[in-house]
Amino acid sequence: MVRKGVSPVVAVVLLIAVAIAIGILVTTWITHWTSTQISSQPITCAINTNYIIESVEYNKTGGDLLLIKVTNKGAENIHGFSAVLDNGTYILDVNSTNWRIDQGGISKSSPLRREKSSYVTVNMTGNYTGLGASLTDVRVLNSACNAVSAKTTFITQY
């Protein structure tokens, strides 16, 4: 009994068809995965969010207050400011709901818009008076896009 196999031409055509089908499936999957990753909220907000700290002044008006002037340079409206204060030995994280921080009228319903500035005030009274007088680093975060922050080491002391 003689067995016949698939002709070499048919075998090549079948292999090419299978390779093309696998290629189409992989391309479709990669395209879907990439579009999902690019359109995700953290990446989108990080691309559109840009803000700077124009100045940081400690005790300018007395009362152990830290005045942080924030200017929005990006397309994304920002709000809910938090501050991370560092003097080299101690770090204080003042989140946006802490009583020590005053948002300067900025809120989710009234965000800081493009090319606008606002003062964020941190109350340094009590245990943090010494920290305010020896700050070396100030970082500001926002609730609208947690992936982006602004940082400065230029702190004016009065």
Angle between helices 8-38 and 41-48 (to 10 degrees): 60
CB crowding 4-35: b at 16 or more within 10 Å, else e: eeeeeeeeeeeeeeeeeeeeeeeeeeeeeeee
Does residue 129 have a pLDDT over 80? no
Summarize the confidence of residues 116-139 as an average pLDDT. Answer: 87
Predicted confidence at residue 2, as pLDDT, reads 63
Predicted confidence at residue 41, as pLDDT, reads 59
Q: What is the pLDDT of residues 84-104, one digit of tens each?
A: 999 888 889 999 988 999 999
Type and span of the H or E element at 65: strand 65-72
Predicted confidence at residue 48, as pLDDT, reads 83
Class of residue 44 by CB neighbours under 10 A (exposed 0-12, middle 13-18, buried 19+) = middle
Q: What is the pLDDT of residues 37-92, one digit of tens each?
A: 666 556 677 788 889 999 999 887 777 899 999 999 998 899 999 999 998 888 89
Predicted confidence at residue 119, as pLDDT, reads 94
Kindly report whether the global pTM for this prediction surpasses the value 0.85: no
| Distance separating alpha carbons of residues 80 and 67, to the nearest angstrom | 16
Q: What is the pLDDT of residues 19-32, one digit of tens each?
A: 999 999 999 999 88
